[in-house]
Amino acid sequence: MTTPHRTVFERQQPAGGVVDASLAASRLGVFWLEDVGEAADHPQLIGRRDADLTVVGGGYCGLWTAVLAKRRNPGARVVLLEAQTIGWAASGRNGGFAEASLTHGEANGQARWPDQYDELERLGADNLAAMERDISELAIDCQFERTGVLSVAYEPHQVQWLVDEESGTWLDEQAVQAEIASPIFRAGRWERDDCALIHPGRLAKELARVATELGVEVFEHSAVTDLSSHRAGPVAVRTARGVVHSEKVALATNVFRPLLRRSRLSTVPVYDYVLMTEPLSDAQMADIGWGNRQGLSDLANQFHYSRLTADNRILYGGYDAIYHSGKRVRADYEDRDDSYRRLASHFFTTFPQLEGLGFSHRWAGAIDTSTQFCAFHGLARRGRIAYAAGFTGLGVASTRFAAEVMLDRLGGETTPRTELEMVRKKPLPFPPEPLAKIGIEATKWSLDRADHREGRRNLLLRTLDRLGLGFDS
């Protein structure tokens, strides 16, 4: 039996008081949403509307669906309904990594769809390129940077994983620390073309602006309460104070309770926690390097991700993934002191030269996790309703692809996107409670155990791998 070892974050912890001091002035709030400037207010839906397409959800998936629908058919009557405000949930709270992958990485894609993986990789690259073109053509101000992602190893077994990889640029210990000066980094691989960084709040705000300018009717504070339809004819999309009679409907409700009963066991909400530092001084930037401004991620099962903002703050998130029994999404789950303290400790283990730097913001968001660890797609009501969900934390770019899929399918089109097995087949559902809670907690324990045993996966994880149930990070 392999003897458990302590990870670098357990072996090398910051000096006492550093964590307390760093968090003392932080506030519970989403930096990205505060940093968007003045955003347009949209009215509440009151009364009746008629539409060719109604989009439910004002995050990236819904916004891209509305924008692309109008670009395909400028004369279409398109309505978008948001329960709260544009981009307030996952689309305004993520790390801003717009990754080309549609499958949450090569290992996951190769394991699930080996025969179509090359096509999935090509379509993902095309989608990111199309997103970049859209941002340019539509003058979307979202601080788009095509920086790539640097994957780093800080344990010996992780170094070997990087050695075995074939893509990207290999960086040994000296080279990786020349890129980003952390004493715990032992090796890295820089994927230069597969990821861009964006400002999440600004992307949502700008997509809403573009949608409105294209003629989409955008409504906020208009939660959909019911979808009703007959065997033929329009779907009635009802809110508390209004209704839209719509020929087609696209559901982009992400982590929130699905409006279609068939989807209610397809995702669970897992909370992810994030810290944002104050802006670094020129001297502090010189201490850490990071001149190429890549996104940064490590290779642990319980991984961290980080990146620089336009004003040289560092976003640092990940590691904890907290599930609350009953699939609940609640604001009071967002202020979790243990998670923020753990992140702060890991931050200063990674960058001990930045001791004394404070965090300005702390926040959390719920990730719509699916058992296949990436998005799934569906049609309902005789092809009049399309839906996509389950992005599992990698939706910044793949939501645009999902929007294209929904529009293809609602239009009755057969395209390379609609022919994909990942589009045509559904993932296995999660079990009902209390089995979901028991299974998720057992899996989390197993992932932590693997990180303490040189990545070796126990019987539970190997069984889940064979069943195609994800949980690879």
Asked whether residue 40 is domain-assigned, the answer is: no
Burial class of residue 2 (count of CB atoms within 10 Å of its CB; 0-12, 13-18, 19+): exposed
* pLDDT value for 239: 98
CA 180-186-188 angle, 5° bins: 60
Helix ranges (H only) for 289-430 are 337-350, 398-410, 421-424
**What is the sign, positive or negative, of the torsion defined by CA atoms of 448, 454, 457, 458?**
negative
Q: What is the pLDDT of residues 143-173, one digit of tens each?
A: 999 999 999 999 999 999 999 888 889 999 9
* pLDDT value for 455: 80
Asked whether residue 466 is domain-assigned, the answer is: no
Domain with 410, as residue range(s), is 47-140+198-267+371-424
Terminal CA-CA length for the chain: 23
pTM (2 d.p.): 0.95
What are the DSSP calls for 129-145, one per residue?
A: HHHHHHHHHTT--S--B
Q: What is the pLDDT of residues 234-257, one digit of tens each?
A: 999 999 999 999 999 999 999 998
* pLDDT value for 165: 87
CATH of the domain at 348: 3.30.9.10
Same domain, 234 and 293: no
Asked whether residue 445 is domain-assigned, the answer is: no
Q: What is the pLDDT of residues 402-425, one digit of tens each?
A: 999 999 999 999 999 999 999 999
* Structural domain total, the chain: 2
Phi, psi for residue 201 in degrees, rounded to 5 = -65, -40
Block residue for tokens 């709030």? 29
Confidence class for position 313, pLDDT limits 50, 70, 90: very high
Asked whether residue 389 is domain-assigned, the answer is: yes
Rounded mean pLDDT, 131-136: 98
Same domain, 207 and 263: yes
| Displacement of CA 128 from its chain's centroid (Å) | 15
Same domain, 277 and 355: yes
pLDDT at position 174 over 60: yes
pLDDT at position 473 over 70: no
Taking the C-alpha atoms of residue 262 and residue 201, their distance in angstroms, rounded to an integer, is 31
Same domain, 219 and 349: no
Give the H/E segment covering residue 178.
Answer: helix 173-179
Taking the C-alpha atoms of residue 435 and residue 443, their distance in angstroms, rounded to an integer, is 12
Same domain, 277 and 359: yes
